Amino acid sequence: MTEPDPAEQLVHARGLTKRFGDFTAVDGIDVDVRRGEAFGFLGPNGAGKSSTMRMIACVSPVTDGTLRVLGRDPATDGAWIRGRLGVVPQEDSLDLELTVRENLLVYGRYFGLPKPLIRERAEELLDFVQLTDKRDAKVDALSGGMKRRLTIARSLINEPEVLLLDEPTTGLDPQARHVLWDRLFRLKQQGVTLILTTHYMDEAEQLCDRLVVMDKAHIVAEGSPAELIGQWSAREVVEVRFAPGDHEAMAGKVEDLGSRVEVLPDRLLLYTEDGDAAAAAVHERGLHPVGLLVRRSTLEDVFLRLTGRTLVD
């Protein structure tokens, strides 16, 4: 791999650390995000994703290590950097008393943009996130998915080079998530660099060119979704269900059928290059599972392997 051009390296972190008192929320992570890519932080609650995002967004001071965003130091050039970022925070910070459109107008003024320009962009952005028919509704009355879309529209008012999205789709129903993914995908095609955090591996697989898996303040793995699966999991997974309580005992009887077996409370996961063959072997041994499913390996499996935990329970 060739050394990336520094001008194309929008985020550059070495030994990046965030401490709250004695507690270390981010412990010396190295991250590089290149222009135009979609980069993900995948991890469970409390992993340190938001703490990292807030440092990149130049709102939370770096405790230790080096951080450069758009080539500059947040400690000295925070305002300059923030002027070129779009931020979708984990918790909405929309003004519920104002209308959809007013939220955009007010926010654009924080960037010092002239009012006519903001008005023009607001109409375009409302169209982009499909909220034009809600433009004069109070934000209070919007659904969760609409609020998220409005927050994304708001974050684009300054035409940012980089968009930071902290759990953009958490709490949304599947349909609302797909609408959002579609919008994010379009932004990426327009050349906007996306940095996002998520609990959802399908989201990471759909959107991210590269991602890091974070756990307990550390980065535990890094790569494209395919690379991570290749490196940390087998090609296929056989999910085998037995009667509750039997899984521990059954694990020993099937473990030689794959490269690894994982015992979950409600099923066994058997990692193998050939799922159908392993499934057939389970039947041949007369083990009579209650259920059996062969599927492709996902990031969820990578995560389970790396942290011993499932991402979303």
Partner 1 sequence: MLAAPHALRSYEYWLFQYKRTYKGSLVSTILFPVLFLASMGLGLGTLVDQSASGGVDGRSYLTFLAPGLLAATAMQTAVGESTYPVMGAIKWVKTYHAMLATPLGVLDVLVGHVLFIATRILISAGIFLAVMTLFGASESPLALFALVGALLTGLAFALPTIAFAAVTENDAGFAFLFRFVVTPLFLFGGVFYPVEQLPVVLEQVAYVTPLWHGVDLSRDLALGTATAAGTAGHVLYLSVWIVAGFAVAARNYRRRLAV
Q: Does 144 bind partner 1 (CB under 8 A)?
A: no
Q: Does 90 bind ligand ATP (CB under 6 A)?
A: yes
CB of 297 to Mg ion, least distance (A): 26
Segment lying near Mg ion (by CB under 5 A), choices 26-34, 42-50, 131-139, 205-213: 42-50
Q: Does 90 bind Mg ion (CB under 5 A)?
A: yes
CB of 166 to Mg ion, least distance (A): 6
CB of 126 to partner 1, least distance (A): 18
Nearest-angstrom CA–CA distance, 176 and 152: 13
- Of the candidates 91, 100, 85, the one whose C-alpha atom is nearest the C-alpha of residue 170 is 91
Q: Is the CB of 110 or the CB of 248 nearer to partner 1?
A: 110
CB of 192 to partner 1, least distance (A): 16
The residues in 36-75 that bind ligand ATP, with binding defined as CB under 6 A, are 43, 45-51
Q: Does 60 bind partner 1 (CB under 8 A)?
A: yes
Q: Does 97 bind partner 1 (CB under 8 A)?
A: yes
Question: Which single residue is written with the structure tokens 């059928």?
Answer: 257
Q: Which residues pair with 223 in a beta bridge?
A: 211
Q: Is the CB of 141 or the CB of 264 nearer to partner 1?
A: 141
Segment lying near partner 1 (by CB under 8 A), choices 42-50, 98-106, 189-197, 278-286: 98-106
| Residue 96 binding partner per list Mg ion, partner 1, ligand ATP, none, with a CB distance cut-off of 5 to 8 Å that depends on partner kind | partner 1
Nearest-angstrom CA–CA distance, 227 and 288: 35
**Are the C-beta atoms of 228 and 248 separated by less than 8 Å?**
no
How many of the other CB atoms lie within 10 Å of CB of 5? 9
Nearest-angstrom CA–CA distance, 175 and 104: 24
| Residue 45 binding partner per list Mg ion, ligand ATP, partner 1, none, with a CB distance cut-off of 5 to 8 Å that depends on partner kind | ligand ATP
Q: Does 159 bind partner 1 (CB under 8 A)?
A: no
Nearest-angstrom CA–CA distance, 53 and 88: 10
| Residue 256 binding partner per list Mg ion, ligand ATP, partner 1, none, with a CB distance cut-off of 5 to 8 Å that depends on partner kind | none
User: Which residues of this chain interact with Mg ion, rule CB under 5 A?
Assistant: 49-50, 90
User: Which residues of this chain interact with partner 1, rule CB under 8 A?
Assistant: 20, 57, 59-61, 78-80, 82-83, 85, 87, 89, 91-98, 102, 106-107, 109-112, 155, 158
